[in-house]
Amino acid sequence: MTILRLDDIHFAYPGHAPVLNGASLHLEPGERLSIAGANGAGKSTLFRIALGLQKPDAGTVMIFGKERSVEADFHEVRQRIGLVFQDPDDQLFCPTVAEDIAFGPLNLGRSKSEAIAIVDRVLADLDLMHLRDRITHKLSGGEKRLVTLATVLAMEPEALLLDEPTNALDTKNEARLLEILQGLPQAILLVSHTPSFREALAPDTLELREGQLVDLRP
């Protein structure tokens, strides 16, 4: 079953020219796809529409085989598709790393002991156990980025939407993030300005150009 299908999406912010003007894409299980485009082209807007955080002016949002149009339609979607924000500080808000990672599972109704087990498993899988009890706001930018990914993976999503995941990362942390992402089973939809990162993680690329997605695949 197709994970995500956006058909003929149109969207304009009030008082501005259209950002999306007939954009369409689909993401299949296990597929890795990149979206390229200039700043302000509408890439982040496309992600927000896919998760129901913004409503398109026209077009169809189909996720896991069902059309999604009202807020209630997206509750399940946000449990099954994980979004990694551009800025980790928008996503991390608990005092410690462990609490941040446990927040999602607890919100889904897991017991405290189950949530702790998930925290330890995800941190071990990502080789981040040394960060478990650290104060979140004292982490480095690269550490915050990796913890943000851990908070999303704790929800056991079927797909990941990655919005500029290498933003403000040094070379070492970018390489570590790439290594982790390459080893994951989830489908990935990637927005990145870094051609080398796109090529290494999700070489099949669509370019958002004048509000439409142009397929750059050979």
Residue ranges and CATH numbers for the domains of the chain are: 4-215 (3.40.50.300)
| Lowest model confidence (mean pLDDT) among 31-40, 81-90, 185-194 | 81-90
Half-sphere exposure of 194 (CA within 13 A, CB side): 18
Position 209 scores a pLDDT of 93
Residue 134 has pLDDT above 70, yes or no: yes
Residue 96 has pLDDT above 90, yes or no: yes
Q: CA-based Rg of the chain, rounded to a whole angstrom?
A: 17
Residue 47 has pLDDT above 80, yes or no: yes
Beta strands in the chain, from DSSP E residues, in sequence order: 4-11, 20-27, 32-36, 58-63, 66-67, 81-84, 159-163, 187-191, 204-209, 212-215
Going by C-alpha positions, the residue among 130, 165, 129, 131 that lies closest to residue 149 is 165
Position 218 scores a pLDDT of 67
| Lowest model confidence (mean pLDDT) among 130-134, 169-173, 208-212 | 169-173
Written as six digits, the tokens of 125 are 């899988």
Cβ–Cβ under 8 Å, residues 7 and 176: no
Residue 212 has pLDDT above 90, yes or no: yes
Residue 195 has pLDDT above 70, yes or no: yes
Share of the chain above pLDDT 70, in %: 100
User: From the centroid of its chain, how far is CA 193?
Assistant: 15
- Angle in degrees, CA 133, 137, 138, rounded to 5: 70
